[in-house]
């Protein structure tokens, strides 16, 4: 198949591209490299350096004879979304609509949309969270990502546009950018390797559902199966269904790095959810997907990735 991957030079998108190429698919990447990196781009894929809000991006999708649009490009920093809500909405909502219009005109057979299970639900009423749980986001990012899910429903209703929504947990693994505000696993790992103390906001008992990026890439590949008639129009959580605390994560990373440095403490952030984990039973039933890479194995993979890049043992 011909697959367009937006954000394909970024952390998750580039891992998806690698798996698509491994499975024989023809891939074009749309990425403005504002948060992605050219070094992440698979040499077998074609990179188009464009902003998803641009007319050029729309022309590429409409005229590219693509079977699938795998849409990962986004403003995905929760804190930036609170600081700059208009920018967040412009990229995540208007950028997505630009692409969806192009899909409609270009006959794209399915859109696979990377949404967020970690932000759309807000503070959950019960755990693990199911797809039919209340949607009460407490940050602008969660609202913008969920709004796009409604547009996908509308485009299917009005135009017959096929789609699948994957609601992601906290994704971690190689290529996660440790220099931003998102991606606690990468931020902590690089800090310890560089001899710095990372910061824990609040008491550190906040819990997240951490899934390795290769498991997430595999879910995307499964969601592109055009012969699976049960997929169309589905929204599916991805996750283990169990949370890990920041303190637990920190302890494992310190042990893997081999450091006596301890984190500093900062105030809790009001836009951050206290605890979340996602029930992925629907993805197991419909896609045959379950996460396979255990937490400590995945963190070891991440530590070795950054260690090889920094050349530091601790």
- Whether 130 and 193 share a structural domain: no
Q: Which domain holds residue 271?
A: 176-208+241-278+293-310
Dist CA 14 CA 175 (whole Å) = 8
Q: Is position 285 within any domain?
A: no
- Whether 137 and 165 share a structural domain: yes
Dist CA 38 CA 98 (whole Å) = 24
pLDDT of residue 231: 95
- Whether 29 and 127 share a structural domain: yes
Q: Is position 126 within any domain?
A: yes
Dist CA 186 CA 176 (whole Å) = 6
141: annotated active-site residue: yes
* β-bridge partners, 286: none
- Whether 139 and 248 share a structural domain: no
Task: Report the candidate in 247, 242, 254 with the shortest Cα–Cα distance to residue 205.
Answer: 247
User: What does the mean pLDDT of the chain come to?
Assistant: 94
Dist CA 301 CA 307 (whole Å) = 10
- Whether 165 and 190 share a structural domain: no
Pick the catalytic residue: 113, 121, 141, 168?
141
The values of phi and psi at residue 158, to 5°, are: -85, -40
What CATH number does the domain containing 271 carry? Answer: 3.90.25.10
Using DSSP, state whether 147 is helix, strand or coil: helix
Dist CA 250 CA 229 (whole Å) = 42
- Whether 82 and 222 share a structural domain: yes
Q: Is position 45 within any domain?
A: yes
- Whether 146 and 6 share a structural domain: yes
Question: Under 8 Å CB-to-CB from 155, ≥6 apart: which residues?
Answer: 100, 103, 104, 161, 163
Angle at CA of residue 274, ends 270 and 279, nearest 5°:
135
Q: Is position 286 within any domain?
A: no
- Whether 128 and 185 share a structural domain: no
pLDDT of residue 314: 45
156 contacts 235 by C-beta, under 8 angstroms: no
Q: Is position 283 within any domain?
A: no
- Whether 187 and 61 share a structural domain: no
- Whether 113 and 95 share a structural domain: yes
Question: Which residue positions in the chain have pLDDT lower than 50?
Answer: 314
Q: How many structural domains does the chain have?
A: 2
Dist CA 245 CA 275 (whole Å) = 8
What CATH number does the domain containing 13 carry? Answer: 3.40.50.720
pLDDT of residue 180: 61
- How far, CA to CA in Å, does 205 sit from each of 195, 233, 250? 24, 36, 11
- Whether 247 and 164 share a structural domain: no
- Whether 227 and 155 share a structural domain: yes
Which structure tokens are listed for 147? 């709004």
pLDDT in tens, 212-266: 999 999 999 999 999 998 999 999 999 999 999 999 999 999 999 999 999 999 9
């Amino acid at each position: 198949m011909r697959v367009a991957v937006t954000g394909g030079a970024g952390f998750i998108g580039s891992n998806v591209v690698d798996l698509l190429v491994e499975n024989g698919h023809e891939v074009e990447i749309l990425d403005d490299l504002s948060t992605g990196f050219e070094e992440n781009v698979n040499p077998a894929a074609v990179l188009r350096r464009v902003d998803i809000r641009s007319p050029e991006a729309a022309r590429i999708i409409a005229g590219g004879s693509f079977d699938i649009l795998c849409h990962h490009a986004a403003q995905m920093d929760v804190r930036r979304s609170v600081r700059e809500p208009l920018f967040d909405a412009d990229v995540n909502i208007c950028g997505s609509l630009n692409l969806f219009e192009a899909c409609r005109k270009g006959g794209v057979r399915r859109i696979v949309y990377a949404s967020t299970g970690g932000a759309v639900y807000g503070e959950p009423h019960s755990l693990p969270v199911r797809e039919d749980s209340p949607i009460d986001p407490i940050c602008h990012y969660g609202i913008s990502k969920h709004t796009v899910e409604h547009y996908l429903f509308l485009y299917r209703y009005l135009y017959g546009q096929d789609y699948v929504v994957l609601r992601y947990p906290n994704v971690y693994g190689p290529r996660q950018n440790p220099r931003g505000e998102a991606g606690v696993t990468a931020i902590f790992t690089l800090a310890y390797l560089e001899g710095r103390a990372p910061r824990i906001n609040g008491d550190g008992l906040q819990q997240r559902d951490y899934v390795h990026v290769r498991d997430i890439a595999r879910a995307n590949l499964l969601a592109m199966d055009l012969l699976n008639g049960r997929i169309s129009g589905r929204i599916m959580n991805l996750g283990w269904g169990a949370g890990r605390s920041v303190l637990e994560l920190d302890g494992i990373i310190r042990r893997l790095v081999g450091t006596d440095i301890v984190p500093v403490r900062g105030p809790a952030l009001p836009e951050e959810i206290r605890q979340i984990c996602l029930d992925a039973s629907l993805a197991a039933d419909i896609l045959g997907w379950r996460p396979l890479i255990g937490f400590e194995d995945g963190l070891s993979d991440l530590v070795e990735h950054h260690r090889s890049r920094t050349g530091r043992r601790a």
